[in-house]
Amino acid sequence: MVQLKMNTSTPATMETMSYITTMVLTTLENGLPVSETPSVFTKEQERLRGYMVLLRLLIAIFAVLTNITVIWLQIKYNLFRKTTYFFGLFVNISDLAFSACVIVECFCHFQCGRSPIMLYAALVTIAQHSLVCMCGVAIDRYLALCAIPLTYKQVVNLKKYMAAIFISLTVLVCLNFLLFKYLVTSYIAVVIKWVPCIITGSLLPVASIYFAIGTSLSKSYNHLNLPTQIKIRRIRRTRAIMLTFYSVLFTNIITYMPTCVVAVFLWSQPTLIKPYEDLFVNVLISNVTYNFSMLNYVINPVIYVKLILIKNITCPFCGEKPKEISLTRDAELYTGAQIVK
């Protein structure tokens, strides 16, 4: 058993946005740079740890490419101009930003072994804002089918949605800046381990919102007081969108849950006295679960393409027309049709 002294002045390391090497560097004396601290791992262990970070880097790069492709398709086919898909675009943008930050995190590891504490704040903020945008998708469908189906086109517009996105992002930036500025720096060894729990915990209210809105939407389908053609198209579009983001939400929970479980396990373990061999096992497991959570940012854009984009874009291989009628045509039908009593 080797006794290590806790030093909370050491910056957070960069192995995961939660805890990975924090257990090592926050217990080394004097807060020395990584290059000057005594190594607690063998060369083989360090090499394996580097491979895990390299794998995470490759996953993040692939996630960036897939999200860029999905965003480009939405811009190319003007889906971002439609309120129905507006929040979905910003979910992809948030996933892109998160993946880009992970790439920065990996390069920081290879260069100096650590990253600024505010990079963790940025990662948490981006992940939470992606969830806020997912809530926006569900709320938009609730407005369209339950709250204001007859006046939806007159009340809802892109400027209002953009304002909601900007305000929510500003609030999250302020809250996480204060959290990481004044709390994490004082109790870094504890709070850093809870970062994945913060993200996973943020999924719970989102899941509750989707359950409540999904229940309301299913009850409204048979009582929607709209022209028949508009009613059919709006219900079909809503079902596709809700299925898409139910799938995305389920993927988020599945990929983040192992990271959260490991974080809680490590949080419950003593940190002042820890054998080095157990420490490396924890580091390795933490890397594996963090890499697994990164798969979420690759799978989400694939789900979006499969369930949403493929119905709204021209097939590049067969030249087929989009399956969905544009919202402009939908508005024309709404203007000329009689309300079904």
> C-alpha angle 29/35/37, rounded to 5°?
20
* Confidence at residue 198, expressed as pLDDT on a 0 to 100 scale: 79
Mean pLDDT, to the nearest integer, of 162-182?
91
Q: Is 63 exposed, middle or buried (0-12, 13-18, 19+ CB in 10 A)?
A: buried
Q: Please give the structure tokens belonging to residue 265.
A: 């396990």
Q: What is the mean pLDDT of residues 189-195?
A: 60
Each residue's pLDDT tens digit, 223-276: 777 778 888 888 888 888 999 999 999 999 999 989 888 877 777 766 544 444
Q: Binning pLDDT at 50, 70 and 90, where does residue 64 land?
A: very high
| CA-based nearest residue to 4, from 38, 48, 36 | 38
Residue 80 per-residue DSSP state: G
Alpha helices in the chain (DSSP H): 22-25, 43-76, 83-112, 117-142, 152-155, 158-179, 188-220, 228-267, 276-294, 296-307, 327-336
What span, in angstroms and rounded, lies between the C-alpha atoms of 100 and 60? 7
Bigger pLDDT: 70 or 260? 70
Residue-wise pLDDT for 112-148, tens only, equals 766 777 888 899 899 999 999 999 999 999 998 888 8
Give the chain's mean pLDDT.
Answer: 77
288/84 Cα distance (integer angstroms): 37
Dist. CA 313–CA 127, nearest whole Å: 28
Q: Which of 24, 144, 23 is nearest to 83 (CA)?
A: 144
Name the CATH topology of 22-336. Answer: Rhopdopsin 7-helix transmembrane proteins (1.20.1070)
Quick one: pLDDT at residue 34? Answer: 41
Cα dihedral 121/125/128/132 (nearest 10) = 160
Six token digits for residue 121: 């704040």
Between 103-112, 163-172, 331-340, the lowest mean confidence (pLDDT) is in 331-340
